[in-house]
Amino acid sequence: ASTRSISILGSTGSIGTNTLDVLTHLGGRETFEVVALTGASNIALLAEQAIAHGARLAVTADESQYVALRDLLSGTGIEVAAGQSGLMEAANAGADMVMAAIVGTAGLAPTLAAARRGADIALANKECLVSAGDLFVAAVRQGGGRLLPVDSEHNAIFQVLEESQRHAVERVILTASGGPFRTFTREQMANVTVETARAHPNWSMGLKISIDSASMFNKALEMIEAKHLFGLAPEQVEVIVHPQSIIHSMVGYSDGSVLAQLGSPDMRHAIGYALEFPRRAKLPVERLDFARLARLDFEAPDEARFPALRLARLAMTRGGVQGAVLNGAKEVALDAFIAGDTGFLSMAQITEAVMEELAHLPPAASMDDVFAADLEARQRAKARLG
Ligand code: NDP
Ligand code: MG
């Protein structure tokens, strides 16, 4: 097999380290040449990864870490860069495939650059589709690369949505674990801490997405992500709570048939599928033992306790830059919750208030409008936090 090349934006995170692990299982440098790796604060790990995987370029998003990273890599021949321009350099470094695994809106500009130059995009960073929606999809299409979903739900849908049957798709059903507060009352949720919110029952993930899972903002982002990724109407996107996280998502067709993708909750599965598509990789993920599982449970999501789902529907129905507004306000509120400056329930309250204030914003004609809406939403969310 001919060697392909890959860059990983956000290699030091949860998705990033899982991606490097998958690369090792796929045959290491014989299969994929690693071009660029990027991190932010964790430069010791970044340097270690760059050396172990033979990267050509290592980039820290944090400019103040440039000298320290350069010192860690001196004498290795690995090129070092930093800051926003460094991230753009990594995105443009010419790899066939780019794994987009930076957390939050910070991932948008470099992923967009990689899409525009025609790289295949393995997309973990859901914020690209939530904020930039159709503009991001159009950038991938114009660039000519593939868009391969890594988010486990979307990867599942991608696996069971046959292109030739697209006209017959009635609905997609995103599964949600319900997170650590699935059975909590609103009163109980009002006082939860970061430590309890980050403890996801099934998946091991980065801090922010873990807390977003507890509030179901993660599912809200995924609803918007699915709409853009698969060209769906808002009412075609459904959510069902499935506490075991064994069914990763489903597609319902016009004949009443529902196709589901199942697996153990291990992100290496979705990552491997995206990296090796259209082939299936050989992966060491745990095999399902149905006799031991015994049962799979389902329940309707409660939008009164998890208003994020209602906000996603509102954003999808309004369209335009409402996804960018929802995400920008949510990121500010989430950072405030992590810092201990606001309560768990106020994340949805702040986001909803900002969405109402900015409901009038016109649709985005260009990425500048997306970034402007994101910034405006952040400023308004900050103003509400005082
Ligand atoms: P992590 O927090 O574990 O990792 C985030 C990565 O982004 C790290 O490499 C981090 O560097 C880097 N980073 C942080 N801030 C910045 C910044 N301002 N500019 C550039 N890089 C930055 O996140 P996850 O791996 O969990 O998630 C990554 C993305 O994938 C998110 O969009 C998430 O929603 C999505 N995703 C994650 C899943 C999961 O299982 N984890 C599942 C589905 C989607 P450093 O650590 O060095 O500071
Ligand atoms: Mg997901």
Angle formed at CA 152 by CA 147 and CA 163, multiple of 5 degrees: 45
Contact indicator for 98, 128 with CB cutoff of 8 Å: no
CA–centroid distance, residue 4 to ligand 1 (Å): 24
Ligand nearest to the CA of 131: 1
One DSSP character per residue, 53-78 reads TT-SEEEES-GGGHHHHHHHTTTTT-
Ligand nearest to the CA of 223: 2
- Ligand 1 nearest-atom number relative to CA 204: 40
Predicted local confidence at residue 154, as pLDDT: 98
- Ligand 1 nearest-atom number relative to CA 203: 40
pLDDT at residue 1 above 60?
no
Mean pLDDT throughout 306-334?
A: 98
pLDDT tens digits along 40-64: 999 999 999 999 999 999 999 999 9
CA–centroid distance, residue 13 to ligand 1 (Å): 5
Mean pLDDT throughout 236-240?
A: 98
* Distance set, CA 221 to CA 129, 278, 290 (Å): 9, 26, 31
Predicted local confidence at residue 29, as pLDDT: 84
Mean pLDDT throughout 231-241?
A: 98
C-alpha to C-alpha distance for 87 and 10, rounded to whole angstroms: 10
**Ligand 1 pocket test, candidate residues 65, 102, 221, most atoms within 8 A of CB:** 102
By the 10 Å C-beta count (0-12 exposed, 13-18 middle, 19+ buried), 264 is classed as middle
CA–centroid distance, residue 362 to ligand 1 (Å): 30
**Ligand 1 pocket test, candidate residues 59, 103, 154, most atoms within 8 A of CB:** 103
What type of residue is 43? I
C-alpha to C-alpha distance for 277 and 228, rounded to whole angstroms: 20
Band (311; pLDDT cuts 50, 70, 90): very high
C-alpha to C-alpha distance for 354 and 17, rounded to whole angstroms: 35
Of the ranges 1-5, 22-26, 33-37, 257-261, which one carries the lowest mean pLDDT score? 1-5
CA–centroid distance, residue 55 to ligand 1 (Å): 19
Residue with tokens 């997609």: 172
pLDDT at residue 363 above 70?
yes
Q: Phi, psi (5° rounding) for residue 179?
A: 70, -175
CA–centroid distance, residue 95 to ligand 2 (Å): 25
Residues with CB under 6 A from ligand 1: 10-16, 39-42, 61, 101-103, 106, 124-127, 151, 203, 205-207, 209, 267
pLDDT tens digits along 63-75: 999 999 999 999 9
What ipTM was estimated for this complex? 0.99
Local structure of 237: helix, strand or coil: strand
What percent of the chain is predicted at pLDDT more than 90? Answer: 96
By the 10 Å C-beta count (0-12 exposed, 13-18 middle, 19+ buried), 295 is classed as exposed
Ligand nearest to the CA of 216: 2
pLDDT at residue 135 above 80?
yes
Q: Which residue's CA is the nearest one to ligand 1's atom 23?
A: 206
Predicted local confidence at residue 201, as pLDDT: 85
pLDDT at residue 331 above 60?
yes
Band (162; pLDDT cuts 50, 70, 90): confident
Predicted local confidence at residue 261, as pLDDT: 98
Of the ranges 202-206, 332-336, 343-347, 367-371, which one carries the lowest mean pLDDT score? 202-206
CA–centroid distance, residue 291 to ligand 1 (Å): 35
Band (124; pLDDT cuts 50, 70, 90): very high
- Ligand 1 nearest-atom number relative to CA 126: 32
Ligand nearest to the CA of 123: 1
